Amino acid sequence: MAELPSASPRKNLIIVLVEDHPKAILLFRMARKRAQEKNCKWRAVYVETPAHIRSTEDGTQERILRLLTTAEQLGGESEQIGAASLEKGVEALCAREQQRLSLIIMGSVETRRRFSFSQSPWTRAMRRASLHTQVEVVPLSGPVYRQSLTERLHLRNFRLRYIAYALISVSAALAGAYTLEHMLPPALFRVNEHNVALLFMIACAFSAGRFGLLPGLLASVASFLTVNYYYTLPYKELKLESITDVLNMAIFFFAAILISLFTSQTRGLAENAAQRELSTQVLFTLYRIASEAFSRQQAIDKLQRRLERILDVDVAFFMPPVLNPDRIEPSAPDNILLSEADRKALEVCWRDTKTTGICSPYNPGTQWRYEPMVSAGGEIGVIAVRPRNKTRIDAWFGKMLTAIADQTANVLEHIELERSMEATRIREEREKLRSMLLSSVSHDLKTPLAGIIGALSVHQSLGNRLAENKRNELLESSLQEAQRLDGFINNILEMTRLETGNITFKQEWHSASTMVESVCKRLRHRFKTRELRVKPIPADIEVYMDVVMTEQVLQNILDNACKYTPDGTPVEVEAKSVEGKGFTFTVRDHGAGLPPGQLTKVFDKYARIEKRDSQVAGTGLGLAISRAVLEAQGGWVKAENHPDGGAVFTFCLPLWRTATNLMTEEKAYAVPK
C-alpha cells in the first residue's frame, strides 16, 4: 500500500517590513486586511542595522518605537531583529519562517525626481537575497523624514560646556608640546617637531570620544590653527610658505577630522553595548527581587527605587485597590502628582490594556509613558516612566520597558502565588496541630475524668458499707486525678496564652531557694513513691524572674521526671551560679534517659519520643511551655543524658545577685516512701 504524502505546513503568517516613513501605517492596515482574508496572523518586523544603531540623534528610534507599538495595537505582533545589512536580515527572517510565511508586505517610496515608484531598500534586499516568497508592495507617497542639521551633527544631547572641554583638551596638548620643547635640546626638538601633531590628534580623539562629533570637529579646527601658528613656518603667523607645509597641514586636518568621525561612531557603538548590558542588569534585578521580596508591596517598592537608579528615569507603579479593582491608584511612590493629560493616559492604559503616553499613538502629549503589566492571570497594574534630561525613549527602550512590565507582572503573580501557598500550608499545619491536640486531649483528659467518676460512683453507691480506709483511698484517688486534670488544662491554657501573646511577664528579684521550696512542697503528693533530693541553695541568692511562671517551669520538669522514671528512683534538684552564663537550675532523674537523636525534640509541642510515651498521661505541652517561658525571659533550657544514666534538664536565667544581711538556710526535701 502506497504511503500518503505528508501534508504541507499551513502558511499562516504575514510579515510587514517596517519602513521609517510618515505613512508607514498603511502597511499595517494592508497587513491586517490580508490577515483577515487569509485568517492568519501578521507581524511587523524592523531590521536593525548598524546605521540604525548610529541613528541615536535623528528621531528614527522614537518613530520606530511608535510604529511597532501601533502594530501591536492594531492586532499584530512586533519584532526587532539585528543584522549586518537589510539583505541579510530579510534573508535570515524568511529562512526562519519559511514554513509559515504566506506573504511579505513592504513599502515603495515615491520620488519627486521621476514621479514614479523607485525601488525601496526592502525591494533591493529581496532581490539580492534571491527570495521567492510572495511580496506585495504598498506605495508610500509624500515626503520622507529629513534630518535637520542638528540631527546630522548629533547635537540633540550637545551642551555648550562641551566646546570649552574641547578647547581645554587642545590647550592641554599645547601645554604638552611646550613642555617637550623646553625639556629637549632645540636641535633635537626641531628634528622631531612633526611628532607634536600626535599630541593634538590625541586631543581630537578624546573630544570626539568623550563629548561627541561636534566637539571633536571643533578640536580638529583648533588643533589645525594651533599647529599652523606655533609649529609651522613662519612661526606665530597663520601662513604657509611652501607646498610641503600646505600638504602637511592638509593631511593633518583631514586626519584629525577622520579620527573625530570614527571615534564618534565608536562612541555610539559603545553606548549601544551599554544599553544591552543595561537590559541584562534590569532582568537580573527583577529575578533577584523575585527571590528576595516577601510581599507584593515590598517588591514594588524595591523595583521602583532600583529601576530609577539603573535606568535614570522617574518610575511609578499604579495598582488597583482591593475593594475597587476598576480603579487605578499610585502604589509606589504613593504621593505622585499627575496632570489631567497624564491621568487620562493612565486611565486609557488601564481600561484598554494598551501602551499610552510618550512615543505611542495614544495620548502622546504627556510626560509619562504607561505600559500595562499583564500576566497569565490578567492585568495586574501599570508601570510608568518619565524620561530625565539624559534619557531618551527610543525603540530599544520601549521594548525593554515592555519586557520589564511583563516580567514584573510575572514576579508579582509569583509572589502572590507563594503567599497563597504559604497561607494554605499554615492552615494545613494549624489543622494538623488542632487534630493532634484533640487526639491528645480526648484521651488524656478522659482518663482522669473516668477515674474521678468511677471513684465517686463507688463511694456514693456503697457509702457507709465501705471501710474507712477504702473511702479515704477513693477520695484521695479522686483528688489526685482532679489535680492531674487541672494540670492538663493549665498547660493547654498557658500554651494558648503564650502563642497568642496575651501574657505579660512580671520580672522581679526573688529568692531562688524560696522558689524551689515552694515547688517541692506543691509536688509532695507526686513523689510518694520517689525521693526528691534538693541540694542546699544559699538563701541570699536572688534571681530576676517572673516567679509564678518560673515555678511553672520547674514544676513541669519535675512532673516530667516523675512520669518517665521507675518507682523508687530519686530525682535530684540543684541550683547554682555559672560565671558568664547566669543562674542555672538542674533536674536529674535516674530513668532510662532520652534517645540520643531526640534531645531537642522533647521541647516540641505534643512531642512523643517513644511509643511508650503515648501510654503516659499528658498533653505533651509541659516542656514546650517551659522553653517558651524561659526564652521570653531571656533564658534557655536544654536536655541531655547523664553519663551514669538518666536524663538531665537544665534551665538558666541570665540575671542574678547576692542579697546582703540574709542568713544562709539549707534545706533538703526527702519525702518518705
Decide if 170 contacts 223 (C-beta within 8 A). yes
CA within 13 Å, CB half, 458:
15
Percent of the chain scoring above 90 in pLDDT: 6
Amino acid 661: pLDDT: 45
CA distance 560 to 651: 14
Placement of cell 531557694 in the chain: 513
Buried b (16+ CB within 10 A) or exposed e, 25-64: bbbbebbbebbeeeebbbbbbbbbbeebbbbbbbbbbbbb
**CA 214 to centroid of chain Cα atoms:** 42
Beta pairing partners, 585: 575, 651
Amino acid 670: pLDDT: 37
Q: Is 347 in a helix, a strand, or coil?
A: helix
Amino acid 566: pLDDT: 87
**pLDDT band for position 5 (cuts 50, 70, 90):** very low
Which region among 352-356, 487-491, 518-522, 602-606 has the lowest average model confidence (pLDDT)? Answer: 487-491
Please compute the mean of the pLDDT values over residues 403-430 and round it to a whole number: 78
**pLDDT band for position 276 (cuts 50, 70, 90):** low
What pLDDT digit, counting tens, does each position of 497-551 carry?
666 666 677 889 999 999 999 888 878 777 878 888 899 888 888 999 988 888 8
What pLDDT digit, counting tens, does each position of 52-84 carry?
655 544 567 767 877 887 888 788 888 888 787
Amino acid 652: pLDDT: 93
pLDDT at 585 over 90: yes
CA distance 31 to 393: 27
Placement of cell 501601533 in the chain: 70
Amino acid 583: pLDDT: 92
Amino acid 595: pLDDT: 83
Amino acid 433: pLDDT: 62
pTM given for the model: 0.42
Spell out the long-range contacts of 296-305 with Cβ–Cβ below 8 A and sequence spacing 24 or more: 296/412, 296/415, 296/416, 297/331, 297/332, 299/411, 299/412, 299/415, 300/331, 300/332, 300/412, 301/332, 303/332, 303/408, 303/411, 304/332, 304/333
Q: Which carries the bigger pLDDT value, residue 269 or residue 74?
A: 74
Q: What is the mean pLDDT of the chain?
A: 76
Which of 418, 427, 424 has the alpha carbon at shortest distance from 293? Answer: 418
